[in-house]
Amino acid sequence: MQTEYPKVPVGIVDSEGFRLDVCAGLRQRQRSIPPKYFYDAQGSALFGQICETAEYYLTRTETAILDEHSAEMMGLIGQPCALVEFGCGSAVKTPLLLRHLDSSSVCVLIDICKPQLEQTEARLAAQFPNIKIFAVCADYTQLEALPLPVSCDLRPVIFFPGSTIGNYTPEEAQHLLRKAAKLIGPNGSMLIGVDCKKEPVILNAAYNDKAGLTKAFNLNLLARMERELGAKLEPDGFAHYAYYNPVPGRVEMHLVSRFDQVIRISGEEFWIGEGESIQTENSYKYWPDEFQDLAKSAGWDTEMVWTDADKFFSIHLLRVS
């Protein structure tokens, strides 16, 4: 039987939205493309491989924190609940929470990559047959209400791992956190992963792995533009460039033009000079107390923070103020 969801716009990403965002970004002085467009089927597969590299500490560190503390986390959250994951991807960390979820709870997976979302839903449903698991193909930043089943009156909990919050500027992150607090209501909570500031050499290596997977991940955005938007460009004319900028406290990822060239999309032309870049990602890093201050400004109180021994990564349990 098909699950009923509230009739609300959920911002499903389509080719027209992709085109509009790309063209709008390429018109800016600092040309940019939103990082959510990395995640077509090929990009999602590449990111899965990146997460397994020796240099990319984020996934294994957050996973280890969840593995050690997930029972405590779910105990503090309380049950039954509706666990709603923003940008679930392959949801490799989700089972660490689901193993402590009782059978009267539900899990809602939200992601913009439909093929991967369907695979993830099928895998988790088989792994946890006693838990109701639903998948919603949507852009979580565009939600006007949480897409819970109509009959569901459980207390909602947002699970937002992977330090995805770092992809937004502090102002954008504040706006997203404030919107999440409104979506979830006065009794809701959020479990969110946040990457910490650390030595630049560690951060630079994490986004420039020796196998070249992050390079391929970045360049795949151009291939997607060609394939889905009919863009005319020189994919070999761009180089992957990522570095930690300590002033704003973020890793920046760019596609740098190797020579003067033009990108053509839907009759519009964008002239890009040699050395000019298209910024494809920011990844802001926060000390735990910095992020607590940010969350507080957006209407959240911090109930608990967990970190690894090296304080490379933190996971925060937030409750609406």
Q: Tens of pLDDT along 3-45?
A: 444 433 344 456 899 999 999 999 999 999 999 999 999 999 9
Mention every residue, 6+ apart, whose C-beta is less than 8 A from residue 198.
285, 312
DSSP 316: E
C-beta neighbour count of 1 within 10 angstroms: 3
Tens of pLDDT, residues 181-196: 999 999 899 999 999 9
Delimit the CATH 3.40.50.150 region(s) of the chain: 58-198+287-320
Tens of pLDDT, residues 197-244: 999 999 999 999 999 999 999 999 999 999 999 999 998 999 999 999
- Long-range pairs for 273-276: beta carbons < 8 A, 24 or more residues apart: 276/31
Show the tokens assigned to 144: 């006007």
- Predicted local distance difference test score (pLDDT) of residue 317: 98
- Predicted local distance difference test score (pLDDT) of residue 9: 37
Show the tokens assigned to 59: 């996934």
pLDDT-derived band at 150, boundaries 50, 70, 90 = low
Superfamily of domain 58-198+287-320: Vaccinia Virus protein VP39 (3.40.50.150)
Q: Measured between alpha carbons, how far is 271 from 273 in angstroms, rounded to an integer?
A: 7
